[in-house]
Structure 1
Amino acid sequence: MASPSLQDGIDEAGSAVRLRWTDKPQVWTPPVVKPEYSGWREEQAAWQNGVALLNLSYHMWDTFATGPDATRMLSELSANNYENFAIDQAKQLVVVNENGFLIGDAILLRRAEQDYVITGRPTVQNWITYQAQQRGYDVSLSSDPDCSRDAGHVPPFFRYQIQGPYAQQLIEAAFDGPLPETKFFHASHVTLGGKRFRALRHGMAGQPGYEFIGDHADHAPVKEALMKAGERFGLELVGSLAYPTAQAEGGWVPAPIPAIYDDSVSQTAYRSWLPLHTPDGMQPLHGSFYSPEIADYYVTPYELGYGRSISFRHDFLGRDALRALKDAERRHKVTLVMRADDVASVLGAGHGIVNTLAKQRVESGDGGLVGKTEYTAFSDPYGTMLSLALVSQDMAEPGTEVTVVWGDHPGGDVAQDAELSLPRIRATVRPCPYNEFARAGYRQD
């Protein structure tokens, strides 16, 4: 792979935390898509109260895995069950290291018997590519990057999500009737605007809807047909400012720290292969929660709610360690609903949109550390910030009151629990996902 490597960056910085820690993080927004169309507040409201079109075509990586060993490779490198994995079905791909801690997750779509597409951040894709090379599988792997470094790059697919309470009505209007009955995370083949593509039952914010996936060369007529059908329902295009905030309502943690920083020979070799200038090496690490030990930022699949995706009926990398973690004491993913008056006081009444991966300290009433945030966003329909957080079991009961320490620890040699006079925001523990449909009805079938 290209140099310098991630290991080169760690060696120069002195540690993985020192490499990634910053007090000037850049806010991530999807490339190419306009920041706003009608305004981020209106766009957030659309997937809550109306219907929205979210363009996912430009910010994700795709890795194509084909060949005689494609299924065996994926089965041996991920925790998912492949026994009844149908063609045109998708899964939340879950990959762990040899100690059972999460490398990352991605969307895995099976297109044919030995033909898969892995979509998402490149973390999982890089890990699988490296492991495949080391183990000598008879498989072809090729990757197509996102458009963040080259806005003129043409991706292989268009991806349009239609979601919100009126999504089904819009879809029936566009297709002159309901789509074929399809289970959650399964796809059917449909035609619109003279173009053939997949309709995957899936939604980012946990709202009812579909994700349409097809050849990017066909994106214009498909989008035009959806927009035309959506006129009567008040369809809103969602810009790059509002789009990432949907995950705060849907309960998906977008970028957990991958467990690739251990001192083992195998992980050192992997980091020496992996380029430094990837999200795993360059994604900022910041917030009021600070530890000089990168392992303190690791998570398990169970903490993120991926237990239902895990199967121990096959052998895979990290299987025994992950099984041991299943019943171990662990943190629980919750939604923290922050006090609106505290948010206004700390951020200012006109603070605008918030979209941050900052790891903020979550404290109990006596100031003790009980967890950390993983992702925080301002949701205008709810009038406050929502934070996806991992907290200790005794603090995970809905209704529990906690405090979020808001700001950035300086890192370095400053003590983890140093008094930094950072502002506090009171918050209430609520279920995750916070969106009721995502929690109660999203995956019922």
Structure 2
Amino acid sequence: MAIPSLQDGIDKAGSPIELLWKPGAEPWTPEVVAREYTGWRQEQRAWHEGVALLNLSHHMYDLWIEGPDATRLLADHGANNFEKFAVGQAKQYVPVTRQGHIVTDGILAREAENAYLLSGIPAAQHWVRHHAEKGGYDVAFETDASSAFRPGGGDPKLFRYQIQGPLALELIEKVFGGPIPETKFFHATPVTLDGRVFKALRHGMAGQAGYEFIGPWEHAAHVHEAFLAAGEPLGLIQVGALAYATPSVESGWIPSPVPGIYSDPDLAEYRRWLPLFGIEGKRPLNGSYFSQDIEDYYVSPYELGYGKMIHFGHDFQGRDALLQAKEDESLRKKVTLVFDPDDVRRVVGDGEVPGFVLSYARHRVETSAGLVGVTMQTASIDPVGTLLSQTLIDAAHAAPGTEVSVVWGEHPGAGTDPEADLGFPRVRATVQPSPYDRHARTEYRRNA
């Protein structure tokens, strides 16, 4: 029996929206990791006030790309600057369609002259593999799916442990017996612990000082125990799946935007190549914002704040569209919405202090002018004392301090007018910069 493709799923459902729209969908949290270790509130505070250990080992999908055409393949289908891409450096890979819509980003690390590792959710990896096969590039691939989807089960090929927070560097010095070599943002340096060699990537998902340590799985338990033992006197907190999914709301990264692949007739072959039971066919859409047109959910890399990563010094798919988008004043701006705490208690907590909230729903953002934006990810941030939401909003309403309302509810989908007043409650919110975290906004990339 043939494995159904994404196009098969769209055809059976009737449209991309009818395939993807799932009111009340449960939000994604990383697999295998415990939901909470000491409680999500304490875990969030750890990267603000102390030191936290985040385990990224199980939910990342890895694609190794190696061969004479590896750089050309990635450059032909990504908007990044490959003229300035050192071995040991990592970049947020930005693949776009010919219309200039993002496919979904990933972390691309250059491991050798003709070897790269692309990590993250597998949409960007699928895009690269398909174009490699279609274009006849001289490259080879090795894959390692996330632990929930690894064929036959088993362990990951790599461990990834992130040490984060104001005490991160102190902990790292304790583990390694001194400071590790000074490293630029998103660059890696080799490190050795008790004869075990792996790498330290200067990185910080929570917008604070920290490193991501990456190495062979055979060393995972030893490295993990070393951090736990050295971190105990510093109050090291392990971060569970609930809190893990929230730092991006503060650091300004919008995870998993809708890939711009569902409607272009020229991508029909790609949709037939993609499996239905993959990220492109199963990542749900929901929220109070509803449109029958999937293209209303597509985003430009400029809207995501990736403009500085785009390099026009080479030819790549989508280049002409991005040149036009660069001057497009109608594009939305990325902002952080800070929800009114009283409204959060009233609407989300039924008058009480609300529990943990995590949502990737697309909620309507309104002013007296009507619809002005849409939320992309919303989460409880205990140190702030309310909900924050990464949001795309019309430029006219993007100034910090602008007051808006978020429509909190779940549109039922097809068969109901997208503009129907369904009686959903409104939550007042105030526009603030993105990233919301001051460190992430002012210092995070200073030494990139």
Please report the TM-score for the alignment, with normalisation by the length of structure 1.
Answer: 0.98
1:33-432 aligned within 5 A: 33-149=33-149, 152-264=153-265, 266-329=266-329, 330-348=331-349, 349-364=352-367, 366=368, 368-432=370-434
Q: Which amino acid aligns with 1:80?
A: N
- The one-letter code sitting in structure 2 at the alignment partner of 1:290 is F
* Structure 2 SS opposite 1:104: coil
Q: Are 2:24 and 2:410, in contact at CA under 8 Å, matched by a contact in 1?
A: no
- Residues 364-421 of structure 1: CA deviation (Å, up to 9, x unaligned): 1x16000000000001111100000000001100000000000111110211110100
| Secondary structure, aligned partner of 1:102 | coil
- Which whole-Å CA distance do the structure 1 matches of 2:206 and 2:422 have between them? 35
Report if aligned partners of 1:2, 1:275 keep a CA contact under 8 Å in 2: no
Which range moved further: 21-30 or 104-113? 21-30
Contact 1:193 1:225 in 2 (8 A): no
TM-superposed deviation, 1:97: 0.1
Counterparts of 2:204 and 2:371 in 1: how far apart (Å)?
Answer: 34
> 1:152 and 1:91 mapped to 2: Cα distance?
29
Q: Which digits, 9 at most, give the CA deviation of each residue in 1:96-122, with x for residues without a partner?
A: 001111111000001111010000000
Does the 8 Å CA contact 2:66/2:116 hold for their aligned counterparts? yes
- Report the residue type matching 2:336 in the other structure: T
Deviation at 1:28, TM superposition (A): 1.2
Secondary structure at the aligned position of 1:403 is classed as: strand
- Larger deviation, residues 143-152 vs 290-299: 143-152
Residue 24 of structure 1, CA deviation: 3.2
Q: How far is the alpha carbon of 1:263 from its aligned partner?
A: 3.3
TM-score w.r.t. the length of structure 2 is 0.97
How much does 1:195 deviate? 1.2
Unaligned runs of 5+ in 1: none
Structure 2, unpaired ranges of 5+: none
Moved more, 172-181 or 211-220: 172-181
Distance change >3 Å, CA 46–CA 320, structure 1 → 2: same
Aligned counterparts of 1:30 and 1:247: Cα–Cα separation in 2: 14
- CA–CA distance in 2 between the matches of 1:242 and 1:2? 39
The aligned amino acid for 1:69 is D
Q: Report how far residue 3 of structure 1 moved.
A: 1.6
Tell me the alpha carbon deviations over residues 35-60 of structure 1, each in whole angstroms, 9 at most, x when there is no partner.
11111110000001111000000001
- Following TM superposition, the consecutive aligned residue runs of length 4 or more in structure 1 with deviations greater than 4 angstroms are none
Paired position in structure 1 for 2:26: 26
Alignment length (residue pairs): 443
Write the letter of the residue equivalent to 1:208: A
Residues 145-172 of structure 1: CA distance to partner in whole angstroms, max 9, x if unpaired?
Answer: 1012359431110000001011111111
CA contact (8 A) 2:73 2:137 kept: yes
Higher mean C-alpha deviation, range 346-355 or range 135-144: 346-355
Q: Say if 2:344 and 2:354, in contact at 8 Å, map to a contact too.
A: no
User: Are residues 195 and 2 of structure 1, via their aligned partners in 2, closer, same or farther at CA, if it must alter by over 3 Å?
Assistant: farther
Q: 1:53–1:323: structure 2 CA closer, same or farther, 3 Å change rule?
A: same
Contact 1:286 1:408 in 2 (8 A): yes
CA distance in 2, matches of 1:147, 1:429: 37
Partner SS, residue 213 of structure 1: strand
Contact 1:10 1:19 (C-alpha < 8 Å) held by counterparts = yes
Indicate if the aligned counterparts of 1:193 and 1:222 stay in contact, CA closer than 8 A.
no
Once residues 114 and 96 of structure 2 are traced to their aligned partners in structure 1, the CA distance between those partners, rounded to angstroms, is 22
Kept in 2: contact 1:27–1:356 (CA 8 A): yes
